[in-house]
Amino acid sequence: MTGRAGDLLVFSAHLWHSGSRNTTGARRRVAIAQYERS
């Protein structure tokens, strides 16, 4: 799956996922948020 700068991807944490090697030389930014019932 690819995206453009500024795109947002939302998915279930139960989904197996990984990132690929950064071959651009530019830094990647990520924000991770998690919600759980208490």
Structure confidence by residue, pLDDT tens digits, 1-36:
788 888 888 888 788 878 888 899 899 888 888 877
pLDDT confidence of residue 30: 81
- pLDDT reported for residue 33: 82
Nearest C-alpha neighbor of 35 from the set 13, 7, 9, 4: 13
Residues 6+ apart with CB under 8 A from 22: 28
pLDDT at residue 23 in the model = 92
- The answer to whether the pTM exceeds 0.75 is no
Per the listing, tokens 């947002």 go with 8
